[in-house]
Each structure stands twice: as structure tokens, then as C-alpha cells.
Homo-oligomer: A and B are copies of this chain.
Amino acid sequence: MPAERVTLATIAEAAGVSVPTVSRVLNGDGNVAKATRLRIEALLDEHGYRPRTVRASSAGMVHVIYPRIDTAWQLEHIRGMEAVMQEAGVGLVVSALNHGTAGRNDLLRRAQAGQATGAILAAASGDTPLAPVLDQLNVPVITLDPGAKAPARLPSIGAANWQGARAATEHLLALGHRRVAMITGSKGGLLCSRARLDGYRAALEDAGVPEDPSLIRHGEFEFEAGITAAKQLIDHPNPPTAIFACSDLIALGVYEAARQRGVSIPADLSVVGFDDLPAARWASPALTTVRQPLEEMGRLAARTVLTMAGRRSLPSPRMELSTRLIVRSSTAPPPRPRRG
């Protein structure tokens, strides 16, 4: 026997009051006798009352959409976004595309239902299946740290990748290194990877150190890719004395390769990473790395979406937060050259 739908009328009848009175209790209207209120509250609970509809305004939700939920820095983003959303009384809905269209359809449905206040496409590659349908949404959408060329009309928030990579390379050059290798995150596409490679090159050029293409390795943003690339570099006939890795994860792969090859960090080999994940602090020795203000990027993304949702104008459609070199214990002057 599937019970009748429980509406305000059900409760009103059970309580022997009118529908408006029940409505007042639900809405926290003070003008209800305490005894009445208590009785109605008990009945609402007992009948398991659930409103049929919800005011769209109180349903404020911002969706953050990742390709996958799989990397540590996402938690930093989320912490920043959550803090801002909580202050604004808006919920943060986390979802993943997972190669499918389910996430997209879900977002679309919710947006049409007035449920989404806005959306943040994070770490989105250019071919995100979301792009073609964005225009249908009547809610603000921005990109956060877009991996590839994002739809140009979307506001975006990123980090100063070029500047950070340059600072990292300059740090190594200042220590006296002349054979500085780089391991990138991906050969082609990714914007951040390109910018970091260019920053590395700029620093070399400024220092008058000729670029050696054999010291540039292209991997993925993965631990294993770091191991592979670092082994190749260590086995190089004229090996580098320092490696700038395009991410902390790759840098940790370099650590492992060095351990397996009996190479000591930083005595034999200096290593710099990129991101400043918590894991960078936990490495032995602690990793010198370029800090991306991931939490702050999340906060800014959240604020930006809320600003747009309030139909206020943005200071700029493209915001880039600065990066900062954090010197820890994985970098040192190069070893004295062995006698030939």
C-alpha cells in the first residue's frame, strides 16, 4: 500500500489546523503557538513530510566538474571553493565527467531546473564534451586551470606557469648548474606544460646556457613517467646535474629513479618540482618546488562564479595567480666534476 503523498494538507488534517498554519511552522514563522508548533513538527516528522518543490533561490549550487577525480591538488581546489561557497550559503557539488556524458547531462538537467547557480570546469581539456552545450545554460560558467585551449569566451583562472618555471630554472642556474634537464608533462597539447617549457628555455637563454635537446624529456604527469625519464637522463653519457620536473609527481619519480641508481639527492643531483602538493613536504629530502596557490585559485574561481551569478561584471576575463619558488632540501650546488 503505497501511502498517499504527504502534503501540507495531510499534516493539517492530522493536526486539526489549517494548511497555512502548517506552512508557517515549516517556514519558521514565529506567529505560531508553541504547543501547535510542537504538535505539527511531530506530525511532519512522523509522516516523513518532504516538500514537493523547493525555492530555486535556496537551492543554490555551484558545480565543479573534473575530467576525473584523481589527483591530490583537486582537494586543494575543493577546500578553497568550499570555504567561499559556505560563506555565501551556496552548496558545492563535485562531479566527474569520467569520459561519459552522464555528468554533462546531469549538469544540464540541473541547470535547466534552475538548480545550478553556476559551474566551474576544472582542468578541462579543449575537447570537453561540455563545450558545445555551454551556451544552452543560463548560468555562468568559468574554467579553472584549463589544460588545453578552453573555449575562448569563458572566463578562466590559472597560474603563472611560465614565470614559475623560469624561477625554478634560474634557481638551479644560480646554484651553478649548467646541465639542467627538464621533464615535461606532455608532449603537445597541455597549456601549462607548454608555458613551463618556455619558462625553462627563457631562463637558459638569459643565462647564456645553450639548450641541449637531449636533456628535455616528454612524459605524462605521472609518477612512473618520472622514473622512466629520470633513468634515461641519469644514464645519459653526459648526464645533467639538475632536473626540473614539470610536476611534483614527476619529481617524486625522479627521487625513485635516483634511489635505484644510487644517485644521491641533492649531493649528486638537484631536483625541482612544480605544484607544491602536500607530498612535496613529505618527500625525503623535502622537495624544492614551484608553489601554485591551488587553494587560492579555488577561492577565486568560486568568487568569480558568484560574481557572475550576481550579474556583476568581472575585473578581467582571464586571471592568473602568481607562483612562488619554495626552496627546500632537494637542491644544492652541482658536484665537483670528476677528473677525466
Q: Which residues of B contact A55 (CB under 8 A)?
A: 52-54, 113
Contacts of A258 in B (CB 8 A): 284
Flag whether A269 is at the interface (Cβ < 8 A).
no
Q: A82-B95, A86-B96, A255-B284 are in contact. Are A54 and B59 (CB under 8 A)?
A: yes
Interface string of A236-259 (1 = CB under 8 A from B): 000000000000010011011011
User: Shortest distance in angstroms between A53's beta carbon and chain B's nearest beta carbon?
Assistant: 4
Partner of A58, one of B69, B115, B281, B285: B115
Question: Smallest CB–CB gap between A90 and chain B, Å?
Answer: 9
Q: Complex Cα distance A78/B68, Å?
A: 11
Chain B residues closer than 8 Å to A70, beta-carbon distance: 75, 79
A232 near B: Cβ within 8 Å? Answer: no
Known pairs A69-B82, A72-B278; A50 contacts B56 (CB<8 A): yes
Is A110's CB within 8 Å of the partner chain B?
A: yes
* Bound complex: CA A17 to CA B53 (Å): 26
A92 touches B (CB below 8 Å): yes
Would you give the shortest CB distance from A220 to chain B, in whole angstroms? 15
Of residues A54, A138, A278, which shows the largest number of chain B Cβ atoms within 10 Å of its Cβ? A54
Tell me which residues across on chain B come within 8 A of A56, comparing CB atoms. Answer: 50-54
Taken together as a complex, chains A and B put the C-alpha atoms of A87 and B63 apart, in Å, by 16
- Binding stretch for chain B, among A32-40, A101-109, A154-162, A331-339: A101-109
Q: Which A residues, 56 to 87, have Cβ-Cβ distances below 8 Å to chain B? A: 56, 58-59, 61, 63, 69-72, 74-75, 78-79, 82-83, 86-87
Asked if B58 and A110 sit within 8 Å, CB to CB, the answer is yes
For this chain, the copies found in one complex come to: 2
- The answer on a CB contact under 8 Å between A93 and B93 is yes
- Chain B residues, Cβ within 8 Å of A98: 83, 86
Closest Cβ of chain B to A248, distance in Å, is: 9
Residues of A in contact (CB 8 Å), total: 62
Asked if residues B82 and A102 are in contact (CB atoms below 8 Å), the reply is no
**Distance between A93 CB and nearest chain B CB, rounded to angstroms:** 4
Query: With the chains together, A49 CA to B136 CA distance in Å?
Result: 12
A75-B72, A79-B70 known; A86+B102 contact, CB < 8 A: yes
* Nearest 6 Cβ contacts at the A-B interface: A53-B53, A51-B114, A69-B79, A252-B282, A91-B93, A259-B284
Residues of A participating in the B interface, judged by any CB pair closer than 8 Å: 26, 44-45, 48-56, 58-59, 61, 63, 69-72, 74-75, 78-79, 82-83, 86-87, 89, 91-96, 98, 102-103, 106, 109-110, 112-115, 136, 138, 223, 249, 252-253, 255-256, 258-259, 278-279, 281-282, 284-286
17 A-B Cβ contacts within 8 A? A45-B138, A50-B114, A53-B54, A54-B114, A58-B113, A59-B113, A69-B82, A71-B75, A78-B94, A82-B94, A82-B95, A92-B94, A94-B94, A252-B282, A253-B282, A258-B284, A259-B285
